[in-house]
Every structure is written in structure tokens, then in C-alpha cells.
């Protein structure tokens, strides 16, 4: 706060705030001396009127500061109440509820789709690792002959059709196809 009285900086957090003591109110004695005295008043009465005027002005400044503070708080509270009412109206509207339901369903569908894609990727990676394992095993058995013994890749017999139609049988057929491909590459 300015030592001469009220803080007049408009960006200051102390704007408009005054202390409770009257000593902060500047009194320009030069102006008081130049003001002509009202006729018929004694010097004591004049001094008393000046003190009363100073007190009234001081109370005006204090009231103005309190009013400014109350108005700023009041406007904040009113704005907050209006925003709360607006939010309640929006969230209770049919359009908001329909939009929220649609977005929720879209999120669930997206989650399910991503889960399916993740499962497919995991399955493909598993198939790739199985192919790699078969290829490595075939390469090991064909490239490392034992002392004087000639080896050939092991041929696994395979049925032309799955015996039982089940997911396990399909997986077995797929695995046998992989083995067949690995055996053909080794030939």
C-alpha cells in the first residue's frame, strides 16, 4: 500500500483497501491554510468541522472499499449460481442424455473391436513363433549330421481332412500344414 494513503494501482490486490487508522489519510496543511475560514466560526469550531469532514471522508472511502469488495464477491457468487443452473439444465436435457448414451455405446464397441484386434495380433504372433520354431528345428536336424550318419527331415504323416470338426482340429490341421511347408522347404 502507498505510504501516502490509498493504493491507486489498478492491478494491485490491495486496490481500494484502507487501514483502520486515521494516520494513513494524508492531510495537506497547505490547502487547509489557504482555505478561507467561514465567517462567524471560531478557530476551535473550524478545527472541529475539519475533523468531522475528515472522518466523513474516511468513512466514505471505507464504505466504498467494502462495497467494491461485496460487489465483486456478489458477482462471483451470482455467476457461479448461473453456471450451476446452466449445467443442471444441460445435463437434464434429452439431447445431452442421448449424446452421452451414444458416446458410451461407441466407447464399448471401440473397446470390443480393439480387444478383437489384440487377440488376432496375439494369435498371429503365436503362429509366427511356431513357424520360426519349426523352421529352426528343421534346420538343426538337416544341417547337423551325426558322425557318419546321414539324417533327413522327419516326415509327419497328415490326414487329408480333419477327423473331428472342432477348433482344436482346425488348429491341428493348421499346425500340420505348417509342418508340411517346413518339410517341403527342406527337400
**Domain range annotation of the chain:** 22-92, 95-141+162-186
Kindly report the backbone phi and psi dihedral angles of residue 149, in degrees, each rounded to the nearest multiple of 5, phi listed first: -100, 125
Please, which contacts does 79-85 make with residues 24 or more away whose CB atoms are closer than 8 Å? none
Q: What is the pTM of this model?
A: 0.31
> How confident is the model over 129-150, as pLDDT tens digits?
878 877 777 766 665 555 555 5
> How confident is the model over 39-95, as pLDDT tens digits?
778 888 888 889 999 988 888 888 888 888 877 877 888 888 999 999 999 999 999
Percentage of the chain with pLDDT > 90?
20
Question: What whole-number distance in Å separates Cα of residue 12 and Cα of residue 3?
Answer: 14
Is the pLDDT at 175 greater than 50? The verdict is: yes
Coil, strand or helix: which one is 169?
Answer: helix
Cell matching residue 113: 473391436
What does the CA dihedral 67, 69, 70, 74 come to, rounded to 10 degrees?
Answer: 130
- Cβ 151 vs Cβ 142: under 8 Å: yes
pLDDT band at 123 (very low <50, low <70, confident <90, very high): confident
Amino acid at each position: 500500500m502507498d505510504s501516502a494513503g490509498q493504493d491507486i494501482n489498478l492491478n494491485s490486490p490491495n486496490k481500494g483497501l484502507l487501514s483502520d487508522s486515521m494516520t494513513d489519510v494524508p492531510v495537506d496543511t497547505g490547502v487547509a491554510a489557504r482555505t478561507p475560514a467561514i465567517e462567524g466560526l471560531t478557530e476551535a469550531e473550524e478545527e472541529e468541522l475539519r475533523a468531522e469532514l475528515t472522518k466523513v471522508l474516511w468513512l466514505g472511502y471505507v464504505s466504498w472499499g467494502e462495497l467494491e469488495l461485496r460487489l465483486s464477491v456478489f458477482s462471483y457468487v451470482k455467476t457461479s449460481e448461473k453456471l450451476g443452473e446452466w449445467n443442471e439444465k444441460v445435463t437434464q436435457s434429452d439431447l445431452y442424455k442421448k449424446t452421452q448414451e451414444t458416446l458410451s455405446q461407441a466407447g464399448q464397441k471401440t473397446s470390443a473391436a480393439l480387444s478383437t484386434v489384440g487377440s488376432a495380433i496375439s494369435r498371429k504372433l503365436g503362429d509366427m513363433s511356431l513357424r520360426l520354431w519349426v523352421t529352426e528345428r528343421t534346420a538343426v536336424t538337416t544341417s547337423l549330421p551325426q558322425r557318419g550318419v546321414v539324417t533327413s527331415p522327419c516326415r509327419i504323416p497328415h490326414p487329408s481332412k480333419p477327423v473331428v470338426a472342432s477348433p482344436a482340429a482346425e488348429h491341428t490341421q493348421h499346425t500340420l500344414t505348417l509342418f508340411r511347408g517346413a518339410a517341403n522347404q527342406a527337400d
